[in-house]
Chain A
Amino acid sequence: MDRQPVPAMAVTADMILQRRRGKRYTQAGVYLILCVLVLWSVQVTIIEDTDWARMGSLAEVWESTNRFIGIDFALFKDLIGPTIETFMIACLGTLLGVLLCIPAAWFGALNITPFKPVTYPLARLMMTISRSIHEIVWALFFVAAVGLGALPGIFAIAVRSVGFIAKMSAEAIEDIDPGPVEAIRSVGGNNLQVLIYAILPQILPQVLGVIIFEWEINIRRSAVLGLVGAGGLGLVFFRQMNTFNYHGVMSVIIAILALIVLGEAFSHRVRRAII
């Protein structure tokens, strides 16, 4: 493949260099704006807002950090109960979330939503609300509504996780192979039968994976709900903090980490087995 007479060097190194330089100037401009924005934020949030006198010198900060180094081993036997509680809140919350997600996913999947103009946007709105509010806010809300204890924690976890599970399930439903649906319809199946025989088997592995993934995150969440009065390890953390038992605080953190690591290992195993 010979090229015909080459048009005397259409591109020169100068052109390329110049273009690159121009590009670099625009890039530099963008970064400059970014830097100004950062510096302004730093000025407002960190330099002006911080009570530097209260913080004191670096040595004092180091000293207050040092208070946390160490573990209160005696506390561990009192942590077993709350750890189990946290675990159970995560499990029950996920379970309730899964139950709530069935109607949400049904309404939120374009291909099976019963009455598109109403149910679809409604379901999508619920999913967004559920996902966009932080679990602590949900917990505050439910503590205010049903009182202290494990129950508001379960509600908070359930409501917080329903959005993600429902969104992923709805997407899975939208992606199904329509063949089996037609097959079940053609043997005279009604909507429910289509759901159970044609849709559910197709999305089950995927949805199960999502649920386990969310369960793993829920353990992490349920460990802090106690901070606002919803039981579990968070409550102990709060108490240790308020009684200035900093080594106890570290013990609670270790318990949380252990629980999370276990959950992660388990979820990793199960998800691999499913997929």
Chain B
Amino acid sequence: MVEIKNSLENDIFTIYVIGEVDASSSIHLDESINEATSKHKKIIVNCEQLEYISSAGLGVFMSYINDLNEKDIKMVIYGLSEKVLHVFQILGLDQLLKITNNEEEAKVIVNGI
């Protein structure tokens, strides 16, 4: 099961992904990213409490790659555990999505400094 929380600080919209993202709970992740990309240009995905992500969950991130480029939205993922990061890497998503180690780096990227 996954729990998803949001916060808006200045113009940065943060999505907190907590728990496990599997085939059924990936729908919630999809909904919240969809909502975020339709309203905000600066999005940070906090995955510090993401324990597991299945291929269906990865598919959700993947499906926004084109959107982000086309709409010029900056989305950064940070706080991935070693295991989860490895899953992103094997699939090659680390080459297409911006992934940082911590919030500061993520903020730097979304602010475009």
Question: Are A and B bound to each other?
Answer: no
